[in-house]
């Protein structure tokens, strides 16, 4: 071996990096195994937040959360909810739903987006599916428009409201020994109410008002028998009414009797009824018209026959302003007319030609 060549190789400068072994441009050939060796990964640093921790004063909490936490003292819930989400007691759910729908954070987003927004923080068993929320817990939302410069059309989402018994139960203070109303599965007052801390029991009407003479102590052997027999016809009809939006439930006085003038809040119509609750014909007035003067409490025979005829195709008697039979009676479903006497008895045969009953 030539000693000069050996000396030249020994004196050849050694590369300090991998890049010095590669030729620039097109002269660089296919990378060898040495060039494919990856360098060690740099040590990852802990990610920093945009806002430094020294600038954080405290966590933001929605005002509705305080109401939910206060309600949890009296109703802690089942304890099997999703982690990181607050259980909402039954009496507080309408307020949570209304807040999630009409707050400035959401601005009336619709049913699906409202529930998606609430699921971030709250939970209750009937929250899924959406139908359960709409049918059981959501209240009737108002058409409030968000405070923006350009007013956009609002979306009216109507839900059945909670019953008076459920509302009274939700408003019960979280104090040991406080009286809490008992409601049935439909949200109505149970006929018999009990105060566990005192031992007293009594009967109530459909509005939760105590019936006189039914209060008994725990030590008494004659416990009150609160059945439908304790209710007047008006109270029984009111008890059977669902008391939801769109329902026309009867109004009873302090003694449980029908109020002469009955009005339906969902339709705006008002009319007069008898002492037995039957509608008096000719007294129904639409919204905006003067209310009827309901001084009459009994029906004439003609009005009774007219009130009983409610089926399609029936021949309903015609009464005058005094409630008496008009001399000429006609049936719209058949086209026949005839004459009657003052007691309503037919005195001429049926005829398609209107008879002269004067």
The pLDDT value recorded for residue 337 is 93
Tokens of 283: 């007294």
Q: Which helix (H) or strand (E) holds 99?
A: helix 93-102
User: DSSP labels for 41-94?
Assistant: PPPPPPPPPSS-GGG-------HHHHHHHHHHTT----S-SPTT-EE--GGGHH
Considering the domain delimited by 163-249, tell me its CATH architecture: Irregular (4.10)
Cβ contact 327:340 at 8 Å: yes
54-60: list long-range contacts, CB under 8 Å, 24+ apart.
none
Residue 191 has what DSSP assignment? S
Cβ contact 179:195 at 8 Å: yes
In degrees and rounded to multiples of 5, residue 5 shows phi and psi of -70, -40
- Cα separation, 255 vs 346, whole angstroms: 42
Cβ contact 87:118 at 8 Å: no
Same topology for domains 163-249 and 311-358, yes or no? yes
Half-sphere exposure of 322 (CA within 13 A, CB side): 4
- Cα separation, 232 vs 289, whole angstroms: 31
The pLDDT value recorded for residue 203 is 84
Output the tens digit of pLDDT for each of the chain's 358 residues: 688 888 887 777 776 666 665 555 555 555 555 555 555 555 566 767 777 777 766 666 677 888 888 888 877 777 777 777 888 888 888 888 888 877 777 676 777 788 888 888 888 876 654 444 444 444 434 434 333 333 444 444 444 567 888 888 888 887 888 889 998 877 888 888 888 888 888 888 878 888 777 788 765 556 667 765 567 788 777 776 776 777 788 888 877 788 889 988 778 889 888 877 888 877 889 888 888 888 766 778 888 888 777 667 778 888 887 788 999 999 888 889 999 998 889 999 888 888 888 8
- Cα separation, 274 vs 259, whole angstroms: 9
Stated pTM of the model: 0.30
Domain-by-domain residue ranges, the chain? 64-136, 163-249, 311-358
- Cα separation, 272 vs 76, whole angstroms: 48
Q: Which of 69, 75, 178 is nearest to 122 (CA)?
A: 69
Under CATH, to which class is 311-358 assigned?
A: few secondary structures
């Amino acid at each position: 071996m030539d000693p000069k060549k050996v000396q030249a190789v020994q004196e050849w400068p050694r590369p300090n990096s991998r890049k010095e072994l590669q030729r620039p441009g097109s002269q660089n050939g296919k990378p060898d195994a040495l060039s494919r060796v990856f360098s060690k990964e740099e040590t990852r640093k802990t990610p920093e937040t945009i806002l430094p921790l020294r600038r954080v004063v405290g966590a933001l909490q929605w005002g509705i959360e305080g109401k939910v936490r206060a309600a949890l003292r009296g109703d802690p819930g089942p304890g099997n909810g999703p982690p990181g989400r607050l259980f909402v007691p039954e009496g507080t759910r309408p307020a949570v739903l209304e807040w999630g729908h009409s707050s400035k954070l959401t601005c009336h987003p619709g049913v699906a987006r409202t529930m998606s927004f609430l699921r971030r923080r709250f939970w209750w068993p009937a929250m899924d599916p959406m139908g359960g929320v709409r049918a059981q817990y959501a209240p009737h939302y108002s058409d409030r428009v968000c405070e923006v410069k350009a007013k956009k059309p609002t979306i009216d989402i109507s839900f059945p409201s909670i019953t008076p018994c459920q509302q009274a139960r939700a408003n019960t203070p979280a104090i040991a020994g406080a009286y809490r109303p008992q409601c049935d599965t439909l949200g109505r007052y149970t006929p018999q109410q009990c105060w566990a801390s005192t031992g007293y029991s009594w009967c109530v009407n459909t509005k939760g008002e105590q019936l006189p003479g039914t209060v008994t102590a725990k030590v008494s052997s004659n416990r009150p028998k609160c059945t439908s027999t304790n209710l007047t016809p008006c109270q029984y009809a009111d008890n059977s009414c669902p008391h939801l939006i769109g329902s026309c439930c009867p109004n009873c006085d302090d003694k449980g009797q029908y109020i002469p003038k009955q009005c339906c809040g969902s339709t705006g119509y008002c009319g007069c009824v008898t002492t037995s609750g039957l509608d008096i014909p000719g007294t129904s007035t639409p919204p905006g018209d003067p209310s009827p003067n309901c001084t009459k409490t009994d029906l004439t025979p003609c009005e009774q026959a007219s009130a009983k005829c409610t089926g399609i195709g029936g021949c309903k008697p015609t009464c005058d302003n005094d409630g008496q039979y008009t001399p000429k009676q006609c049936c719209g479903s058949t086209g026949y007319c005839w004459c009657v006497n003052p007691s309503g008895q037919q005195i001429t045969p049926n005829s398609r030609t209107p008879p002269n009953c004067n």
